[in-house]
Structure formats: structure tokens, C-alpha cells
Amino acid sequence: MKNKIMRSWSRKKFDAYLKNRATEDLEAINAVDDFFLQRRGYVFKQPKAKESVILLFSGGIDSTVAWATLIELYNYKVYPVIIDRGSKRRAKRERAAVKSLEKYFAKKYPDNYVEPFHLTVNTIAKEFSDTINPNFVSDQEILHNFQQNKWLANDDSNVVLVRTRGVSPYLMPFYGVVYSNYLKFVNNIEIKNIFVGANFTDGSEVSSQSFTALRSTLFAICTATADYSWNFSSVFLERETGVLLEKGGTIALGAKLGVPLEKTWSCYGDGIFQCGDRCATCVNRREGFASVGIEDKTIYWSSLKEKILGYIKFHLSKLKFW
Ligand SMILES: [Zn+2]
């Protein structure tokens, strides 16, 4: 590959990773791959430089690094699409993060930049969100659930209150197909390459983001549209090219590409700052930075609070002498 972080693993090593976790099914992957090899002679084809690709974008670390990677390492024209689910809880902060990332990408990559498109879709059954209303569930409870691999609210814009083995996140790439259809219909632009920014770590907890699920998505997109020219994969996880990045690797790659990671928004809280310690995505995010020893410039409420408390305590202790 083109740099040390995006190294290319051998098939044997890649398969060993897959065999080691419960959310993967090597038999299913091989069945799909065999089918595509027979049908079209390839499973996944890396698009050529200057081709156009669609990217499912959320404003979080992974999809932001994916955006930079597709432009900087592959020289693609990237059409980011945001699945806007009208979530009120974090929508404001998230939108502000997306706006500032837009400015960064537009300025840095004027030739390959396309403004992210918002597709308004509600993918969560109302009956479900009514039953488990996030307003009545504490952050700690959600985090605890996430750690126990039960019910969770992983990310309000991507995965609201779903089971880790649920199907909701699985639906997202299909909206990439919807956006492709929209681009064809409205602008007469044809794009058959769809990417997501799932890394290997994501699929350990959330089965719909496993490599097996990614492959079955490719199969489902092609069969559902009776069109076998679709190309679908993750920027960070593809057996054909041997790319396999974990959360830390994704962060390291982003840092190397100069992506302003602190501008991305992962928290599902709605504070001015990301919480840092009360939600699963913040905990994941901090662990990711720590795992590769990269400085996390994000301002978290948890560390800010400590600083403020420390400052107050320091001055109070001084007061005692008066
Ligand atoms: Zn948070």
C-alpha cells in the first residue's frame, strides 16, 4: 500500500483476524466472494485515481479520516452523504462539527471536494424509541449496557438504541445507493462506488459492522438492484486489498494525513464539549488515541471539569492562610 499504516495484510493473516472473533463467518464471506468471482471476475475493485466515489459520512473520526484517505491516498472525487435522522439530542453539535470539517476539506482539497449531501431518513422505529426513550436512560446506564454488549445507544446519528447484534446500522450503506440514484436522477452523475469508514474494532461489538456484514451488504446491494456493477467496501477493511485497520490505526492514519481530529464529533451528549467519560463513543474514542499514543486535542468536559475543580481547590487552599 501507499504508507506504513495502510499496510497490506496477507490473505492468511486477514483470515486469522476474522477467525478470532464471534461476529465473523468466514464460510459466508467465502461463499459471497466465490459468487462474485464467478459472476464478474472480481469481488472488490479498487477504483482508479480521479474516479468518483460516495462515502457514508457522519462527522465522527472514522468517516472523516475515510474522507481524507479517499482523497489523499487514492485521489478520488468524494461525494459524502450524511444520513440525517433528525435526531435532536446531538444534532446541533454534530452539525457544527460537520460545518467546520467542510471548511477544512474545501480549503485543503479544492479539486476533489464536494459538499456533503444530507439525506433525511428516519431508520429507527418510533415504537422502539418510544419504549426506550434516551431522555429517561442515564449515560452511565447506556455505557454499562454497551460494555456488557446488551442494549446500547452507540451513536445518535448512526445507531440509536439498538442491540449490538441489531440490524439498524446495516441499513446505512443502502442509503448510499439511494444517494447514487438521486445523483443520477437529478444531476445525471453515475457513481457505482460506495464506501463506509468502518474499522475492524467496530465490528467486534456491532455485528452489522463486521467484515461478514460488509460482504453481505455488497451481495444485497447487487441482488436487490439486479445490477452487478456495484462496488462496495470499507476504506479501512477489505480482504481483497489486505487493508485492516483498528480504531487506533484509523486515528494514527488521520493524524498522519493532518486531519484535524479534534474537530470531529463522537459524543452523543449535547453539551458544549464532548463528555469524555459518560458515553460509549467518547470512551472508545479516548481509548483509540491512547492505544497508539497520539495526542488527543479534543476538549472533553470530563478533563475540563477536573482542571476547573483543581483551579478552584488550589485557590481555596490559598484562602485558608488569610
Ligand atoms: Zn460523550
Cβ contact 121:83 at 8 Å: yes
Question: What pLDDT shows up at residue 3?
Answer: 63
Pairing of strands 193-196, 52-56: parallel
Residue 124 CA: distances (Å) to CA of 38, 128, 176, 261: 37, 7, 17, 29
Distance CA 316, CA 321 (A): 9
Ligand 1 centroid, distance to 269 Cα (angstroms): 5
Ligand 1 centroid, distance to 270 Cα (angstroms): 9
Ligand 1 centroid, distance to 154 Cα (angstroms): 10
Question: What pLDDT shows up at residue 114?
Answer: 97
What does the pLDDT profile of the chain (322 residues) look like in tens digits? 456 778 899 999 999 999 999 999 999 999 999 999 999 999 999 999 999 999 999 899 999 999 999 999 999 999 999 988 765 556 778 888 899 999 999 999 999 999 999 998 877 677 766 666 656 666 666 666 666 655 554 444 444 445 566 777 889 999 999 999 999 999 999 999 999 999 999 888 788 899 999 999 999 999 999 999 999 999 999 999 999 999 999 999 999 999 999 999 988 777 889 999 887 788 889 999 999 999 999 999 988 888 888 888 877 777 765 5
Cβ contact 261:64 at 8 Å: yes
C-alpha dihedral (307, 256, 106, 100), degrees to nearest 10: -10
Ligand 1 centroid, distance to 32 Cα (angstroms): 37
Ligand 1 centroid, distance to 107 Cα (angstroms): 29
Ligand 1 centroid, distance to 268 Cα (angstroms): 5
Ligand 1 centroid, distance to 91 Cα (angstroms): 14
Question: What pLDDT shows up at residue 160?
Answer: 42
Global confidence as pTM? 0.88
**Angle at CA of residue 308, ends 303 and 314, nearest 5°:** 125
Ligand 1 centroid, distance to 250 Cα (angstroms): 19
**What's the CATH superfamily of 11-136+156-271?**
HUPs (3.40.50.620)
Ligand 1 centroid, distance to 298 Cα (angstroms): 11
Ligand 1 centroid, distance to 265 Cα (angstroms): 9
Distance CA 264, CA 93 (A): 10
Distance CA 307, CA 86 (A): 34
Ligand 1 centroid, distance to 295 Cα (angstroms): 18
Other C-beta atoms closer than 10 Å to the C-beta of 321 total 5
Every domain of the chain and the residues it spans: 11-136+156-271
Which residues have CB less than 5 Å away from ligand 1 (the ion)?
267, 269, 275, 279, 282
Residue 233 CA: distances (Å) to CA of 26, 44, 201, 308: 17, 7, 16, 44
